[in-house]
């Protein structure tokens, strides 16, 4: 296993330890004054229960997104034949969900083709979730327009 793989797996193990342990480490982190104030205000508005919780969750969310993207990108680089089409991933994402894409597979194909043209790097960077969300957002819009354009029955 190459060193980068070791580091990625170590990062994944560190994240899974977050769920298993309540152990904390005090650390001094300098953050921009504006960001500090923004987090304080957001916690007062109910975003999270404390400054620490807000910053911890934001950091954890960002790390988990990074890990997923990196893992997928490295896998696709190592095994190019495993790369699915964006349309296939979108169809799978909505199966059983009730999303408009389930009843409008043609719109999923159309939107996925368009997004794939705009985001050809989606697989290389592992940014699958961002690309799928963009496709499904377009599908909802297109399906809504199609429903409005349908002539009303007498």
Partner 1 sequence: MVVVRHLVLDNEAAFSLLSTRRSDAKRAKVVEAIAAANGQRSVPTAVRVEAGWDRTAPRAANANRLLGAGADRVLDSEAADRAVQLRRLVLSASVVDATVVVAAETLGKAGGVVEILTSDVPDVRALAAHVTAAVVVTLLS
Per-residue CA distances from 141 to 104, 122, 136 (Å): 12, 22, 9
CB 146 to partner 1: min, Å? 16
Closer to partner 1 by CB, 79 or 153: give it.
79
Q: Which CB, 41 or 61, lies closer to partner 1?
A: 61
Contact footprint for partner 1 (CB under 8 A): 1, 5, 8-9, 12-13, 15-16, 19, 67, 71-72, 74-75, 78-79, 81-82, 84, 88-90, 92-100, 128-129, 132, 136, 140
Structure tokens given for 110: 């159309």
What's the closest the beta carbon of residue 140 comes to partner 1, in angstroms? 6
Measured between alpha carbons, how far is 107 from 126 in angstroms, rounded to an integer? 23
Q: At what angle do helices 105-118 and 86-94 cross, to 10 degrees?
A: 140
- CB closer to partner 1 out of 72 and 142: 72
**What count of residues does the chain have?**
154
Q: Rank residues 82 and 106 by Cβ distance to partner 1 and give the closer one.
A: 82
Task: Closer to partner 1 by CB, 110 or 129: give it.
Answer: 129
- Quick one: which H or E segment has residue 116? helix 105-118
Q: How far is the CB of 128 from partner 1 (least distance, A)?
A: 5
φ/ψ of residue 46, rounded to 5: 105, 10
Smallest distance, Å, CB 125 to partner 1? 13
65's tokens: 């997104």
Minimum separation from the CB atom of position 32 to partner 1 (A): 30
Contact present, 54 and 39 (Cβ < 8 Å): yes
């Amino acid at each position: 296993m190459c060193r980068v793989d070791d580091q990625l797996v170590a990062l994944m193990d560190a994240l899974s330890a977050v769920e298993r342990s309540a152990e904390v480490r005090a650390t001094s982190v300098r953050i921009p004054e504006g960001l500090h104030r923004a987090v304080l205000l957001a916690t007062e508005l109910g975003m999270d229960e404390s400054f620490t919780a807000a910053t911890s969750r934001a950091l954890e969310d960002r790390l988990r997104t990074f890990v997923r993207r990196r893992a997928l990108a490295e896998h696709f680089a190592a095994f190019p034949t495993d790369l699915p089409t964006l349309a296939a991933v979108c169809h799978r994402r909505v199966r059983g969900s009730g999303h408009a894409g389930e009843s409008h597979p043609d719109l999923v194909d159309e939107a996925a083709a368009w997004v794939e043209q705009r985001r050809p790097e989606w697989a290389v960077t592992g940014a699958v979730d961002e690309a799928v969300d963009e496709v499904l957002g377009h599908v909802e819009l297109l399906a809504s327009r199609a429903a409005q354009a349908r002539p009303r029955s007498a």
